[in-house]
Structure 1
Amino acid sequence: MNDDLYQLIAIILYMALMLLIGWYAFRQTSNLTDYMLGGRSLGPAVTALSAGAADMSGWLLMGLPGAIYAKGLVGAWIAIGLTVGAYLNWLLVAPRLRVYTQVSNDSITIPSFLENRLKDKSRLLRIASGIIILVFFTFYVSSGMVAGGKFFLSSFGLSYHAGVLIVSAVVIAYTLFGGFLAVSYTDAVQGFIMFFALILVPIVGVFITGGLSETAATIREVNPQLLNLVSGATFFGILSSVAWGLGYFGQPHIIVRFMAISSVKETKSARRIGIGWMFLSLAGAIATALVGIAYYRQNPGATLVDSETVFIALGQIIFHPFIAGIMLAAVLAAVMSTISSQLIVTSSALIEDLYKAIYKSDASDQQYVFLGRMAVLIVSIVALILAWPNKESILKLVSFAWAGFGGAFGPIILLSLYWNKITAKGALWGMVAGAVTVGVWGNIKVLTDNLYEIVPGFLVCLVVTYLVSLATYRPDPEIEREFNETMELLEKERS
């Protein structure tokens, strides 16, 4: 049996497991809340691992190791920013969002929560939020399909289009039928596979390169500055990297997990599991790159064509082909977990936030679940069409979309949870101002070269939301009642 066949068997088994989980979740889904939010029944481990897997995508196993391999530890600032941002997201947003979304008319999406929380009768806030999510996530999903196509092209020599179709078919199948539960359960399994791979590769790799001291010495032979956290860094460069952490507060596919956890008490356990997973996974990705630098220095006959494939290359060198296949499955898991999470959030935006907001329909829950599945299919087809030409520009939208969501939604989510004087007009103007700032800044090269667009976008959204809210604030007994009820329930559930 040749090496490729062993690896292909591992990939097939992984995909079969994803489909099996999707079938199980399909059996557990009976209404729209089940389909869009898993019936608010997720345990802490599933919540934490699914949030992490949905967050990290292929960047964790390819992008980050590639950056560290090329630049050294100076590339780790983005990992530091993301870890701090994720921790603060779990600490500040998770408990309050879990309670507030239930108190405020049992909201099951971020746009519906903002409308219910701020009592927006115009529906403009909900529609604008839904459109932003729909547009950005369609391109986000497309970029994941592109990554999947390239994965099969580089790993098995399949055509790019065959790879896109395989990844798309499996993800669409389990998301379409199983909904949020399928996405969360598969993400949790995918998160475990990613964790296992990122711990195993650098640990075994260090033994091959002669132990910790020999590995470090070899890296210093290549370039002593590779182990320096600030070598070649500028203040604004570090600020831009750390500022990625600001994006967490506004990422719908991540914070929706906080709405689905079974109780506020579970958020503390989920936070510990999630941040532990994240810290060790990021450390494993960084260590993988450093081991790769040492390995290729010690073995000049071996060549690495693309620094972003260092994780895949080391896995294939170090392990038996079947285990290497599991390493490949980890990369695929990172890509697929993000696609599925974004698909379900985009589906909810299309049905819950646009269709139901524009059309006063009295359809049954079963009909809405059917419409949700059709929305997944429609968005997938559009994303597939965008991915088909294999344009690099689509992949570049990932960092732009992260900034867009962080700048448009982040300050509004925080203010809506912590400030009872935020208004619907303030949130709408702040959202638009933040999104426009990111859009303009992100398309002017001289600006983006110096500062990541999420920083001005976040600040502009925060200031505009605050000032417009102060100017338009009028006391609303219902808003006050819900705010106070949320605070009381928080204290009660924490005690």
Structure 2
Amino acid sequence: MITKIIVLAIYVSVLFLIGILASRRVKSMSDYYLGGKKMGFWAVAFSARATGESGWLLIGLTGMGAMAGYSAYWVVLGELLGVFISWQFMAKLFKRRSDAFKAITIPDYLQSHFKSSTNTLRIISASVLVVFVVIYVASQMDVTGIAFESMLDIDYRVGALIGFCIVLVYIFIGGFVAAVWSDMFQGILMFFGLVLLPIVVWFSMDHGTGVTVGLNAIDPTLTQIMGRSDDWLMNLFTILGFSMIGLGFLGSPQVYVRFMSIESEKEIDKGKWIALLFTLLTDAAAVTIGILARIYFTSEGQDPEVVLGNGGENVLSMITNEFLPTILVAIFIAIVLSAIMSTIDSLLILASSAVTRDFYQKIFRPDLKDEDLTKFSRLVTVAMALVALGIAILLYKLYPDRQVFWIMIFGWSGIAATFCPVIILSLFWKGYSEKGAIASMITGFLSVILFKFVISNLESVGAYFIELDVLAPSFVLAMLVGYIVSKMYPPKDLNTTSDSLKTD
């Protein structure tokens, strides 16, 4: 225990040092929320991927690998495609336009793109950000508590509070710069930890029979890459549910503010390859860790959730304690915290910008200058974090059997379904109107709730939509409604500013 605490103390000290160093660059709201748009490609690439993956990667995806077997690799393919499309076709165009609009937040970009004369679009986008970001941050704090409980035997609530305090201190001091720099540090830890762990486990196991034979001995359906059900339609929905998680990279604000912050378009070309390599290796490693844990810790006829926890959430702690010496277990605890913190910091900055910039300054106090709001921004960040912590504790009390993977996906899906269709259509279709964008956002927001709490409970089709989950259908509906409304209410001037900013 002493070794683990010492390693964690070193880890936390590094984060605080990053916060102190970053604070020297925070002189305005643009610095606090975008690092003055001077971030390099290494930092942005690692930060975008660490933020996009979160504790879901280490706790959720490892558990999903144990529960689903080979079919969980569809998540890897979906995420890889999402990251590639985002960096290859969308990032530079979005960077160019957001710079031309001098945007600091995503609502800034949307307001300028549509030349909106009202605050309707800004209010809707900022409100959705606050709601789903707080839910997503709460799920990350929930994972923090689980990690401390399973890996350090510290009470869940104490663990969640410790994680809350750590992340709050360094982003309170250093803002976006601290978040990005710490994300890079934490992303490097995640990368090497995840990639090396399955290699260590594989050579430590008795693997004479092979992975496929081992899984077949437990449950032959675990080796069915096309799904584990006898119902082909159920398998199709399962594959789509896994692979469509990658849709969230096509415009999610917590990722796209990184593109706004990068120094130049040339840096995006360099960062793309880092992001793709990170995604491929870490996602594949996470699923593999889960599969190896299923072989090692369970046998035929056993309930995996009894052995491995709800949704396999204890997989990582069990496999590290079994195969690694204490010092490396301690480092892995830091890696788990890295995955969680790298997302919490980014999301809190995002939610804070929505309240401070998009509500307080732009709507209620347009007379205030950016430099007058830095202190207020920090206070809002603290308030958002407290609300998220309260929700996390409430989830722990009310839903002790919750599955981490799907709670995180719900928060992720809410943000993605609301913003990704709008970002995509605004970048590539000049006929997209402000009313169409508003309709897309409202549809995406409501559809996530509809599919999660209504459609999935229907007797005839509910089981299929549980497997599909909420993101893919909500995404499609938001795109379709935005298209229809824009055709009904086209933009008055198709020769908008953004049309002159097309890619070469």
What per-residue deviation string (whole Å, max 9, x for no partner) do you get for residues 37-73 of structure 1?
1111111111111111111111211211112212311
Q: Which deviates the most, 287-296 or 139-148?
A: 287-296
Paired with 1:297 and 1:469, the residues of 2 have a C-alpha distance of 54
What per-residue deviation string (whole Å, max 9, x for no partner) do you get for residues 113-170 of structure 1?
0011001111100111000001111122122222212222222222222212211111
1:164 and 2:164 correspond = no
Provide the aligned length of Structure 1 versus Structure 2. Answer: 479
Question: SS where residue 230 of structure 1 aligns?
Answer: coil
Paired with 1:144 and 1:459, the residues of 2 have a C-alpha distance of 27
Partner of 1:44: 41
Question: SS where residue 381 of structure 1 aligns?
Answer: helix
Distance 1:308 1:159, change over 3 A: closer
Partner of 2:170: 174
Deviation at residue 95 of structure 1 after TM alignment: 0.9
Deviation at residue 470 of structure 1 after TM alignment: 2.4
Deviation at residue 338 of structure 1 after TM alignment: 0.9
Aligned partner of 1:112 among 108, 111, 115: 108
Unaligned ranges ≥5, structure 1: none
- Read off the aligned partner of 1:58 and give its amino acid letter: G
Partner of 2:427: 417
Deviation at residue 412 of structure 1 after TM alignment: 0.9
Distance 1:448 1:416, change over 3 A: farther
Unaligned ranges ≥5, structure 2: 230-234, 300-305
Deviation at residue 216 of structure 1 after TM alignment: 4.7
- Read off the aligned partner of 1:430 and give its amino acid letter: S
Q: Which deviates the most, 306-315 or 318-327?
A: 306-315
**Aligned counterparts, 1:51-450, within 5 A:** 51-104=48-101, 106-210=102-206, 214-233=210-229, 234-296=235-297, 304-306=307-309, 307-389=312-394, 390-391=396-397, 392=399, 397-444=407-454, 445-446=457-458, 449-450=463-464
Question: SS where residue 229 of structure 1 aligns?
Answer: coil
Paired with 1:284 and 1:148, the residues of 2 have a C-alpha distance of 21
Question: SS where residue 232 of structure 1 aligns?
Answer: coil
- Read off the aligned partner of 1:125 and give its amino acid letter: L
Contact preservation (8 Å) 1:442, 1:453: yes
Distance 1:474 1:71, change over 3 A: closer
Contact preservation (8 Å) 2:222, 2:228: no
Partner of 1:482: 498
What per-residue deviation string (whole Å, max 9, x for no partner) do you get for residues 176-227 of structure 1?
1111111111111111111111112111111111458645543443344433
Paired with 1:431 and 1:190, the residues of 2 have a C-alpha distance of 32
Question: SS where residue 442 of structure 1 aligns?
Answer: helix
Paired with 1:436 and 1:154, the residues of 2 have a C-alpha distance of 35
Contact preservation (8 Å) 2:133, 2:415: no
Aligned partner of 1:10 among 7, 21, 28: 7
Aligned partner of 2:490 among 473, 478, 485: 473
Contact preservation (8 Å) 2:187, 2:339: yes
Deviation at residue 416 of structure 1 after TM alignment: 0.7
Question: SS where residue 11 of structure 2 aligns?
Answer: helix
Partner of 2:232: none
Paired with 1:394 and 1:373, the residues of 2 have a C-alpha distance of 32
Contact preservation (8 Å) 2:150, 2:314: no
Deviation at residue 248 of structure 1 after TM alignment: 2.0
Q: Which deviates the most, 458-467 or 36-45?
A: 458-467
- Read off the aligned partner of 1:362 and give its amino acid letter: D
TM-score of the superposed pair, with normalisation by structure 1: 0.92
Contact preservation (8 Å) 1:246, 1:406: yes
- Read off the aligned partner of 1:188 and give its amino acid letter: M
TM-score of the superposed pair, with normalisation by structure 2: 0.90
Question: SS where residue 450 of structure 1 aligns?
Answer: helix
Paired with 1:153 and 1:319, the residues of 2 have a C-alpha distance of 18
- Read off the aligned partner of 2:472 and give its amino acid letter: V
Question: SS where residue 158 of structure 1 aligns?
Answer: coil
Percentage of pairs with the same residue: 30
Paired with 2:433 and 2:329, the residues of 1 have a C-alpha distance of 53
Contact preservation (8 Å) 1:250, 1:405: no
Contact preservation (8 Å) 1:201, 1:314: no
What per-residue deviation string (whole Å, max 9, x for no partner) do you get for residues 354-394 of structure 1?
11222133223332111111110111122222223324369
Paired with 1:59 and 1:257, the residues of 2 have a C-alpha distance of 20
Distance 1:214 1:256, change over 3 A: same
Distance 1:150 1:289, change over 3 A: closer
Paired with 1:461 and 1:314, the residues of 2 have a C-alpha distance of 41
Partner of 2:303: none
Distance 1:16 1:231, change over 3 A: same
What is the aligned-residue RMSD (CA, Å)? 2.1
Paired with 2:274 and 2:330, the residues of 1 have a C-alpha distance of 26
